[in-house]
């Protein structure tokens, strides 16, 4: 009896562990006596001690399934918020406004990774004439970041074309030191913007709506850091680099990593 029990329990539990599947329902366990359940527990423990790689396999499978579930959830969130993500009248649009692929970037002016990633965005704008780039202010690194984002949004109110905004963006994000209101206003003045109007607009309803949209989108997409991207219908988290972004853009464009 014990030998049969060993083989049956071991096969079921090892299979479940290696596949990341749930164990049998509690009603099945109820058919075993307390002594038999103790024996099953001992068998499983001994097996896992002797074969710890099973736990690693189970964890890898769990991560794989979780990543797939997250990707599907993100696709649904992108679809549900497509208008706000890709076509908001408040957003900054660079590159080809009628591009066949849109890349949305969420950034913070005090994010070191965003500083490195800015070069990737500029390279893509230069090399891909069919790409539409949308920039979303996402100030998550403290009050200075919020102030800088407000100034940036107010700059965009004076420059719907995005050309002066891009100059402001590259100077502020590419500069050294902490970004805050004073530094952002200094950059705006340097590039010839109306600083008095910016100071008036930066706490007005139009700027507040810009930040509100980013907050809504970040919550819907599960974003908690910068830079984060939406490329096509895929959410990409982190400064993944130019090559990876090109692959995502190509996948959205033609279904392959290299079009």
Assess whether pLDDT exceeds 50 at residue 200.
yes
% of the chain exceeding 90 in pLDDT? 62
The matching CATH number, chosen from 3.40.190.10, 3.40.30.10, 3.40.50.720, 1.20.1440.60, for 82-254 is 3.40.30.10
- Specify the 3-state DSSP secondary structure of 187: helix
pLDDT of 5 over the 70 cut: no
Q: Which of 74-83, 187-196, 236-245, 248-257 has the lowest mean pLDDT?
A: 74-83
Collect all residues with Cβ–Cβ distance below 8 Å to 174 and sequence separation of at least 6: 115, 118
Mean pLDDT for 207-232 is 94
pLDDT at 149: 97
pLDDT tens for residues 70-88?
767 777 789 999 999 999 9
Structural contact between residues 56 and 23, judged by C-beta atoms closer than 8 angstroms: no
* SS3 of residue 22 by DSSP: coil
Q: Higher model confidence: residue 66 or residue 247?
A: 247
Q: Looking at residues 102-108, what average pLDDT do you find?
A: 97
106 pLDDT above the threshold of 80: yes
- Alpha carbons 175 and 170: distance in angstroms, whole number: 8
Closest CA to 131 of 97, 84, 87, 81: 97
The ranges assigned to domains in the chain are 2-77, 82-254
Which tens digit of pLDDT belongs to each residue from 23-48?
444 555 567 888 888 888 888 888 88
Sole residue written with tokens 């949209």: 213
pLDDT higher than 80, residue 7: no
**Choice between 76 and 139, residue whose per-residue pLDDT is larger:** 139
* pLDDT (tens digit per residue) in 148-161: 999 999 999 998 78
pLDDT at 75: 79
Is the separation of the CB atoms in 120 and 133 below 8 Å?
Answer: no
Token digits of residue 163 = 């050309």
In this structure, which long-range contacts are made by residues 202-207, counting pairs with CB atoms below 8 Å and at least 24 apart in sequence?
202/147, 202/150, 202/151, 202/153, 202/154, 203/150, 204/154, 206/90, 206/153, 206/157, 207/150, 207/153, 207/154, 207/157
Token pair listed for 189: 């003045």
Instruction: Give the strand pairing for 131-137 and 92-95.
Output: antiparallel
């Amino acid at each position: 009896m014990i030998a049969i029990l060993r083989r049956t329990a071991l096969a079921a539990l090892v299979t479940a562990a290696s596949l990341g599947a749930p164990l049998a329902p509690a009603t099945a366990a109820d058919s075993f006596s307390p002594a038999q359940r103790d024996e099953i527990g001992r068998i499983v423990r001994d097996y896992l001690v002797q074969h710890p790689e099973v736990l690693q396999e189970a964890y890898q499978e769990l991560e794989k399934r979780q990543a797939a579930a997250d990707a599907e959830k993100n696709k649904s969130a992108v679809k549900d918020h497509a208008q706000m993500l890709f076509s908001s009248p408040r957003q900054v649009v660079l590159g080809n406004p009628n591009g066949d692929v849109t890349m949305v970037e969420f950034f913070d002016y005090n994010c070191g990774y965003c500083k490195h990633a800015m070069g990737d965005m500029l390279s893509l704008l230069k090399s891909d004439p069919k790409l539409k780039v949308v920039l979303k202010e996402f100030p998550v690194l403290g009050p200075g970041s919020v102030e800088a984002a407000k100034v940036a949004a107010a700059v965009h109110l004076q420059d719907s074309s995005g050309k002066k905004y891009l100059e402001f963006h590259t100077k502020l994000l590419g500069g050294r030191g902490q970004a805050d209101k004073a530094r952002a206003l200094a950059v705006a003045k340097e590039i010839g913007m109306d600083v008095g109007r910016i100071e008036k607009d930066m706490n007005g309803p139009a700027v507040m709506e810009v930040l509100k949209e980013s907050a809504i989108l970040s919550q819907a997409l599960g974003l908690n850091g910068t830079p984060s991207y939406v490329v096509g219908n895929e959410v990409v988290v982190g400064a993944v680099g130019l090559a990876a972004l090109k692959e995502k853009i190509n996948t959205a464009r033609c279904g392959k990593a290299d079009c």
